[in-house]
Amino acid sequence: MSERAAEFASQFEQTNCDFIKEVERLTDDEWKTLVPGENWTVGVVAHHVVDSFELITGWLESLARGAEAAYDRDAVDAHNAEHAREYAGCTQSETADAARRSGAATIRLVSSLSDAQLDTVGIFRGNPQTPTGLIEGVLIGHTKSHLRNIRSALG
């Protein structure tokens, strides 16, 4: 295992642990609070974060091969809207458990990347991108961004 991959996996693992702790500490009322700017409840935003792990790991796998990571903004928006409807009643327990399972799979993938794969340039959203950039900016960044929005909504 690459030391860099291990460090990225550790960073994501810590971010996911922080996320899970936040989900588990929320009250039922907080879980149902609308997140300004997201137009979803805290629960839907939290479940969206977990739902994104699989999509992002698919992008990582493509970039690690030097390929284009298939990204269609309209398809992502449609998926997110459908996901929000489908998981409007999700529970904290379901979301935390999903974060543990999906997070573990994500950690395994990130840990498995070699230094060469981390530095391989593929295409994401029409631009050159490496798995390193995607891990930092999208995988970890997406989770932290939504967690900040949740915390902000709750004061």
pLDDT digits (tens, 9 = 90+) for 107-129: 999 999 999 999 999 999 999 99
Cβ-contact 69, 124 below 8 angstroms: yes
Q: What Rg do the C-alpha atoms of the chain give, in angstroms?
A: 16
Beta strands in the chain (DSSP E): 34-35, 40-41, 68-69, 122-124, 127-129
Average pLDDT over residues 61-66: 98
pLDDT digits (tens, 9 = 90+) for 25-44: 999 999 999 999 999 999 99
Whole-number mean pLDDT of the chain? 96
Q: pLDDT at residue 1 above 80?
A: no
Average pLDDT over residues 56-74: 96
Beta strands in 33-147 (DSSP E): 34-35, 40-41, 68-69, 122-124, 127-129
Average pLDDT over residues 56-83: 95
pLDDT digits (tens, 9 = 90+) for 138-148: 999 999 999 99
Identify the structural domains of the chain with CATH numbers, from first to last.
3-153 (1.20.120.450)
- Cα end-to-end span (Å), the chain: 41
